[in-house]
Amino acid sequence: MSEQLRPPVVTILGHVDHGKTTLLDYIRKTRVAAGEHGGITQAIGAYQVEAEGKLITFIDTPGHAAFEKMRSRGAEAADISVLVVAADDGIMPQTIEAIKHIQKALTPMIVAVNKVDLSGLDIKATVEKIKRQLSDQKVLVEEYGGDVPIVQISAKTGAGVPELLETINLVAEMNEFKSDPEKPATGVILEANLDKSKGSVATVLVRNGSLKKGDVIKAGNSSGKVRGMFNFAGKPLDVALPSTPVEVLGFETVPAVGSRVNEAEEEKEEAKRKFSSLVDKLKNNQEELLTVVIKADKQGSVEAVRDILEKLNLEKEHLRIISAGTGDITDSDVEMAQGAKGIVIGFNVKVVPTAQRIADQERILIRLYNIIYELADEMEDVVETMLKPGVVEEVFGRAQIIAEFPYGKDEKIAGCKVVEGVISKGPKIRIVRKDEVVYEGKLKSIKKVKDEVPKVEKGTECGMMFDPIFDFQIGDIIESFRVY
């Protein structure tokens, strides 16, 4: 089995009335893939066109429920996003919203300035204005030193549409979207419904592998056997290759829109192995803090990865990003992670050979991703693991509160004596009162006489302050601990 180039999957986004549907209609009517003339008879939400002898798959009506569902998971169904901006309006609220979705999905972007055929417009000045508006949204077109192509079109007359399709092919060539057609099919559900005569009907976009008539198919909690497949023109198919949208009959129940199809067992096992190695790394981290170096293909990707981690509420409590930049993973990235006892996360990048050797020798974990939802899902699993009570607990030390001293307006210092082990500022602490845990938090300060110290050992008397503040009582027991 070997990977081969596959057609790109493209979605079109933009503000209402900026010409998305008109553009899709023009492309569909004039560029329908060879052998599919005669019009579309199945409204399955996706279709393929041909440009310069190459296939392009378009996800139709990107505002429909299917895309909304996928968008919540990073719009992983699309490889390339075309942002349509009307020349007479420029950047509008829904345009900004679309930009955010594209940036979050980490898909390459192409900007199509539409309605350039309108009379009375100074097109040159209008396009320059749109370029400036885009830069305000952190979208840099190629003329401004960025990597986003901009194409002027008229969806109504078709002017510039061939150039847009050519640009899509160029972006696809640069990104080399690949798949292995010999593998079992995996994909995503675009649309699904219950038909009175056909039963459960689902539109499946095959992302990798090949889907064959008679194959067992599963999506979420729904499964079945492929009884029939039809392409977007209603033509029966026996095999659906990568990037092909097909209407599938055979699900026993209606699958959920946006659910992934046929997650292969080998892929699940590989994901488990990768996740296991990451969790092992966490278990060996005595500070219960995962430090991360981020490397991605472009700045927009770096920001999107950082955004994912922040939205998982990692950065403040469980994860610290010590470096984030663009380009392949180098020796210095691995060495930085080594010094911080952390890991390296890469998105759409490679590891230079010398850096890989250092990582192997020093046992530094490098995790590479090229699909954003896989990164998000794995990191979410890491968070859940970190938050769950462990099966093994280690207590580093215990101290008893023997006095209290006022400090400032609202705080108090707990006068303590360490009765067992060592207590330091790093690990979590809890306060036990009459065999009941009444507080969990961290140590804000440890003082020995008047000096701040990092730790205190058995037999030592000291002052402690808690974060967050807690109304402790004399006789309470402080325990320093961690869980695995």
Q: Tell me, yes or no, if the pTM score tops 0.75.
A: no
- pLDDT tens for each residue of the chain, 484 residues long: 578 999 999 988 888 788 888 898 898 887 655 444 333 333 456 889 998 889 999 986 544 444 444 443 434 578 899 999 999 999 998 888 888 878 777 789 999 999 999 988 899 999 999 999 999 998 999 888 888 999 999 999 999 999 999 999 999 999 889 899 998 898 888 888 888 888 999 999 998 899 999 999 998 889 999 999 998 888 999 999 999 999 999 999 998 877 888 865 545 555 555 555 555 555 554 445 678 899 998 888 888 888 887 776 554 456 788 899 999 999 999 989 888 878 899 998 999 988 888 887 777 888 888 877 778 877 777 766 655 555 446 688 999 999 999 887 788 999 999 998 889 887 889 999 988 889 999 998 999 988 888 889 999 999 999 988 899 999 999 999 876 5
Distance CA 43, CA 245 (A): 11
Q: Considering the domain delimited by 4-178, tell me its CATH architecture.
A: 3-Layer(aba) Sandwich (3.40)
Angle 353-362/331-339 helices, nearest 10 degrees?
20
Letter for the amino acid at 333? D
Total residues found in the chain within this entry: 484
Letter for the amino acid at 347? F
Cis peptide before 468 (omega within 30 of 0): yes
Nearest to 349 by CA among 372, 369, 322, 331: 369
**393-483, what's its fold?**
Elongation Factor Tu (Ef-tu); domain 3 (2.40.30)
The predicted pLDDT at position 360 comes to 76
Structure tokens at 194: 């219950």
Angle 161-175/20-31 helices, nearest 10 degrees?
90
The predicted pLDDT at position 270 comes to 52
Structure tokens at 217: 């198919």
The reply to whether CATH 3.40.50.10050 applies to domain 265-387 is yes
Domains 4-178 and 393-483 share a fold: no
Letter for the amino acid at 150? I
- Beta partners for 461? 417
Residue carrying structure tokens 């004596």? 417
Q: Give the CA count within 13 Å in the CB-facing half-sphere of 343.
A: 21
Phi, psi of 291 (to 5 degrees): -95, 140
Q: Is 250 left (phi over 0), alpha (psi -120 to 50) or beta?
A: left
Residues 6+ apart with CB under 8 A from 408: none
Angle 299-311/372-387 helices, nearest 10 degrees?
30
Residues 6+ apart with CB under 8 A from 47: 28, 32, 33, 40, 57, 58, 60, 232, 233, 245
Q: Could you tell me which CATH number the domain at 186-261 has?
A: 2.40.30.10
In the chain, domain spans: 4-178, 186-261, 265-387, 393-483
Written in H, E and C, the secondary structure of the chain is: CCCEECCCEEEEEECCCCCHHHHHHHHHHHHECCCCCCCCCCCCCEEEEEECCEEEEEECCCCCHHHHHHHCCCCCCCCEEEEEEECCCCCCHHHHHHHHHHHHHCCCEEEEEECCCCCCCCHHHHHHHHHHHHHHCCCCEHHHCCCECEEECCCCCCCCHHHHHHHHHHHHHHHCCEECCCCECEEEEEEEEEECCCEEEEEEEEEECEEECCCEEEECCEEEEEEEEECCCCCECCEECCCCEEEEEEECCCCCCCCEECCCHHHHHHHHHHHHHHHHHHHCCCCCCEEEEEEECCHHHHHHHHHHHHHCCCCCCCEEEEEEEECCECHHHHHHHHHCCCEEEEECCCECHHHHHHHHHHCCCEEEECCHHHHHHHHHHHHHHHHCCCCCEEEEEEEEEEEEEEECCCEEEEEEEEEEEEEECCCEEEEEECCEEEEEEEEEEEEECCEECCEEECCCEEEEEEECCCCCCCCCEEEEEEEC
Distance CA 212, CA 227 (A): 10
The predicted pLDDT at position 128 comes to 94
